[in-house]
């Protein structure tokens, strides 16, 4: 029975590192995109809005992946409800940003 507890601890550690990795990748993408977009503003790049929207969408996808991974180690219903709300909000944001990307791409053509 003790070995099951040990396996569970290892599994939780792996999931927590996976969540951390997904979150870090999302933040890195967002910061990199922000810097490129600020630079694009100074260079008067016509596609700066599109670049920023695509970067935000990609970042949100990684953050959403981290939240989905977090559901694996949830132990209480209240935590699951909060995670569900976060997933729904991030999903809605991703949907809106993808809609904005399509609109901006159509506008640039």
* Residue extents of the structural domains in the chain: 2-108
pLDDT at 47: 86
pLDDT tens track for 60-105: 999 989 988 888 888 888 888 888 888 888 889 888 888 988 888 8
Question: How many Å apart are CA 22 and CA 53, to the nearest integer?
Answer: 19
| Cβ contacts of 34 within 8 Å, gap of 6 or more | 52, 55
User: Hey, what's the torsion of the CAs at 68, 18, 93, 39, to 10 degrees?
Assistant: -170
Q: What is the pLDDT of residue 17?
A: 96
Q: What is the pLDDT of residues 8-58, one digit of tens each?
A: 889 899 999 999 999 999 999 999 999 999 999 999 988 898 899 999 999
Predicted pLDDT of residue 77: 86
Nearest by Cα to 26 from 89, 90, 81, 71:
90
Torsion over CA of 5, 10, 15 and 21, rounded to 10 degrees? 160
Residue 1 has pLDDT above 80, yes or no: no
């Amino acid at each position: 029975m003790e070995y099951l507890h040990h396996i569970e601890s290892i599994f939780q550690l792996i999931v927590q590192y996976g969540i951390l990795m997904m979150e870090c990748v999302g933040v890195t993408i967002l910061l990199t995109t922000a810097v490129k977009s600020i630079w694009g503003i100074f260079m008067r790049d016509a596609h700066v809005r599109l670049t920023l929207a695509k970067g935000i969408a990609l970042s949100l996808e990684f953050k959403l992946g981290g939240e989905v991974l977090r559901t694996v180690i949830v132990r209480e219903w209240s935590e699951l409800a909060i995670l569900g709300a976060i997933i729904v909000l991030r999903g809605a944001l991703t949907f809106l940003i993808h809609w904005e990307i399509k609109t901006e791409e159509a506008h640039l053509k």
